[in-house]
Structure 1
Amino acid sequence: MATLTLGVAAPASAGAGADRRVRIINDTRVTMTQFYASSVDADDWEEDILGNDVLRPGRSVRINIDDGTGECYFDFKAVFADGDVLVRERINVCSISEYRYR
């Protein structure tokens, strides 16, 4: 079972025009098979950002979490190959540059 925590890096400027690119880091021993980031106001998870790809242990991917609304707060959902699912709510993507799973 993967133990998952948030790692916060140097803040970016908040609000309109803010950088919403976030490096997702898999520091677990389990492959991440799906990753979702949806605005806190969304009713569903949208699409799997990884698509046909996976995020293997020790690897990272940089994702632009800009849906065009100017929103900074997103909910994250990560699904792992062992069946673990982690949902974190209200992540401010305007103030972090990475999110680390451990």
Structure 2
Amino acid sequence: MIAALAAVLPAGSALAEDLEFLIINDSDADIVEFQVSDPESNVWNSNLIPEGYVLPSGNEIVVIVADGRDICEYDLRAVWDDGGEYVEYDANLCDLGEYTFVDP
């Protein structure tokens, strides 16, 4: 299922201002939400995992931050199906290119 989602988001389809980012779920639970936020904002953007899908344990998906901004630093938030949550502040997504989530 996740491979199909990655196929929907090919690497070359993003606009110049959009940021492609790989999230890897190396935890024991499914990730049901992945959100980013401008560090200067107190509001999380929409869930970047498409509606009706989850990121199962042991899988990965490419997400696109399509906010039209030319920034690299974002706050990250992942929510697991068991209610666990992880937040990291001021992550440089341009430098990282990917993020591996482990058990909450």
Look up the match of 1:32: 31
Higher helix share: 2
Normalising by structure 2, we get a TM-score of 0.74
Bigger RCO of structures 1 and 2 (CA < 8 A, at least 6 apart): 1
Between the two proteins, the alignment pairs up a number of residues equal to: 86
* Cα contact 1:65–1:93 (8 A) shared by 2: no
Look up the match of 2:9: none
| Pair 1:44 & 2:43 matched | yes
CA RMSD of aligned residues (A): 1.7
Give matches, 1:62-81, under 5 Å.
62-81=62-81
Residues of 2 paired with 1:49 and 1:60: CA distance?
13
1:42 CA displacement: 2.2
1:65 CA displacement: 2.1
Give matches, 1:1-102, under 5 Å.
20-50=19-49, 51-102=51-102
1:52 CA displacement: 2.1
1:95 aligns to what SS in structure 2?
helix
Q: 5+ unaligned residues in a row in structure 2: which ranges?
A: 1-15
Look up the match of 2:8: none
Segments ≥4 residues shifted beyond 4 Å:
none
State the identity %: 28
